[in-house]
Each structure stands twice: as C-alpha cells, then as structure tokens.
Copies of this chain bind each other. A is one copy, B any other.
Amino acid sequence: MVTDPQAACFEAGIKFGSLYHQFAGTPLSPSSARSLERAMAESIENQPYCESVRVEILDDALEAELNESSADYTELTGEFMEVEMRIEYEGVTVRTKMEMEDGYPLMKLVSVEE
C-alpha cells in the first residue's frame, strides 16, 4: 500500500518540518550564524535515515535585514537560510532543498532515486 520511495519521501518531509519548526525564532546575528548552521545540521542528522544536512545562513539577507531595522539581531526564518538534505531509506535516495521562491521559503523534493 505504501512503496519504499513514498516512505522515503515521507521521512524526508519529517526532517524538513522538524528542522524548520525547531529552529525558527532562534535569535540570529552574523556572529552566531556559523554555530547555528552547524547545530541545525548535526541535530537533524541524528534523525533516522538522515544521511546529510547542509544549512547555509544567508549572510547577505541577514545583513540587509539588520541594516534596514538597525537592530543587532533578528529571529531565524526561512528567508535567512538555504538547506539541502539527503535521505537514505531502504535503498532509496531522496534529495531535498529549501530555498526562497517568490518571497517564500519553499521546501522541495529534488530527486528520488532507487
């Protein structure tokens, strides 16, 4: 009733939702960006079938936001990061990506390969 590629895609989605909603709202500045990237990636890599996570805080978007508001820090939202993940489930490899599209952070399936 459920195929391995479908289950692999479900697992991939779980990791994305987890990453986003665990860390959205975290206080963020240029000086704390690198440690947050690393902690996000390493914590989500703990989850089952999650082979690799790469998080990139977008320094330019962050600096632009801070310049505009003249604040020292902001809160993490999707507009300040790009994420790539690779999920391995029962021989299926799923690649996913989150990036901004038309002003919104979009989580998408890049490929599903058996």
Tell whether, in the assembled complex, residue A21 and residue B10 are in contact, meaning their CB atoms are under 8 Å apart: no
What's the tally of chain A residues with a CB closer than 8 Å to chain B?
53
Q: Is A81 in the interface zone, CB < 8 Å from B?
A: no
Chain A 19-43 near chain B by CB (<8 Å), digits 1 or 0: 1111111111101100110111011
Q: List 7 A-B contacts (CB under 8 A).
A: A1-B111, A13-B16, A17-B19, A18-B21, A21-B22, A24-B75, A32-B39
Tell whether, in the assembled complex, residue B26 and residue A22 are in contact, meaning their CB atoms are under 8 Å apart: yes
Task: Give Cα A18 to B18, complex, Å.
Answer: 5
Tell whether, in the assembled complex, residue B21 and residue A32 are in contact, meaning their CB atoms are under 8 Å apart: no
**Neighbouring B residues of A26 by C-beta, 8 Å:** 22, 39, 43
Task: Give Cα A9 to B9, complex, Å.
Answer: 6
